Structure 1
Amino acid sequence: MGLVEQEELTSIVLPAAFFARPAERVAPELVGCLLVRQRGDGSRLWGVIVETEAYCQSEPACHGYRRRSASNATLFGPPGRFYVYLTYGVHHCVNVVTGRPEWANGVLLRAAELPGEPERRAAGPGLLARRFGIDRGHDGAAVEALRGLWLAPRPPALALAADDLMQTERIGISQGRELPWRWYLRRSRAVSRRAAGDRPPPRLHLS
């Protein structure tokens, strides 16, 4: 893939201050960043985040819109933690808590592209969680290397031009669809669903 020439780049962890901002600001900046999982054998599984969505307590699509509960408590916690929930009783979805404590705010990681693997292996939130082995056991875990699951900054090789990032309405929800809070990397074929009229690239060429 040519995105990360040195393994050291996956060791860098995004600072807590990065997440202490509104979800709609963090979400587009997470596109191109790396999701990294430390495996039991010492190796690292990593992928480029190519699609994100923002959610906020002020709008009805957010899990914390109506009230705080045992299942969504992490979303009200400090920023820089993973919020993992089960959808339809089958698929796990991975979010990162953003904003400030006591205000539900987060970014859903919708899709990732992994080097050397089929381009659509993690082209959707459920597929992403499955490939990285993320489940409810990771809910509330801090985004840090000590926990074995973290987010690394966007590699210099993946600097984005103005037209690389597509902003659209969110998908897979019934309320709040008018908010243009989904972003994806147009250069990637691992996006879960492209906007109408936006044709995928003819071949993989993220680098």
Structure 2
Amino acid sequence: MSKDFPALPHAFFCRPAEEVAPALVGCRLVKRQSDGSLLWGVIVETEAYSQEEPACHGYRRRSPQNETLFGEPGRFYVYVSYGIHHCVNVVTDRSDWANGVLLRAVAMPGKAERIAAGPGLLSRHFEISRRHDNSSACGENELWLAPRPSVLNIPELVTTTRIGISQAQDLPWRWYLKASRSVSRRAKGDRMPAISQASIPTLECKR
């Protein structure tokens, strides 16, 4: 953990995923690298998943592969999608109930604006793998989640349906930062903002 990037408290995650997901937009994903430097970015897109709906990994059964999702809130759940891409989630709500938030996109200051626009790209750039599964997101390890900076205290969000799934597609459980150019996919009719219109130029990525 770092004084510039204090970790979100455990209590932050002890709420249903559909409450935590929009609250995470604008927060920071932080990783302490082997040389001690910090790699970080602003979370600009999230999705919520819950056991009662069929798109959730825990909908059908509990298994060794999804055990973390049924565990303690405030821990990372990392899985491999299509045998290729790692996807990072944070567990929410309560133990013994599959509930979590997928981190879909991060904006990284000083880097290409879409370098982490999508779950696979995000995990690749932060070098997140299955070894991070079940690790705490609350500052106890090399990877954690930090609060929104004050400039992003009340961000303007877009609420829309989830993408990349074949079931429960109508649930409006995806949120993204409207002013960000680093979102993986915008809602229909929502145009990409011009560079000059970026709401937080010091936090948004450079081209």
Unaligned runs of 5+ in 1: 1-6
CA RMSD after TM alignment: 1.1
The separation in 2 between residues aligned to 1:124 and 1:99, in whole angstroms, is: 24
Residue range with higher mean Cα deviation, 23-32 or 141-150 = 141-150
Report deviation, 1:83: 0.1
Aligned counterpart for 1:46 among listed residues 37, 40, 44: 40
The partner residue of 2:18 within 5, 11, 24 is 24
Instruction: Deviation per CA, 1:86-134: give whole Å up to 9, x if none.
Output: 0010000000000100000000000000010000000000000001010
Q: Report how far residue 158 of structure 1 moved.
A: 1.5
Q: Percent identity?
A: 64
SS in 2 for 1:94: strand
Q: Deviations over 1:145-181 (max 9, x none)?
A: 23110000000011225xx100000000000011000
* Structure 1 residue 8, shift from structure 2 partner: 3.4
TM-score by length of 1: 0.93
Q: CA deviation at 1:140?
A: 0.4
Distance 1:185 1:200 in 2: 11
Structure 1 residue ranges, 4+ long, deviating more than 6 angstroms after superposition: none
Question: Which of 148, 157, 160 is residue 165 of structure 1 equivalent to?
Answer: 157
- Asked if structure 2 preserves the Cα contact closer than 8 Å seen for 1:9 and 1:152, the reply is no
> C-alpha separation between the residues in 1 aligned to 2:174 and 2:110?
26
Structure 2 counterpart SS, 1:115: coil
Long gaps (5+) in structure 2: 201-207
Q: How does 1:49-88 map to 2 (within 5 A)?
A: 49-88=43-82
Please list, as runs of the form range in 1=range in 2, the aligned pairs for 1:100-111 lying within 5 A after superposition: 100-111=94-105
Residues 183-198 of structure 1 mapped to structure 2, 5 A cutoff: 183-198=175-190
CA shift, 1:16, in A, is 0.3
Corresponding residue number in structure 2 for 1:175: 167
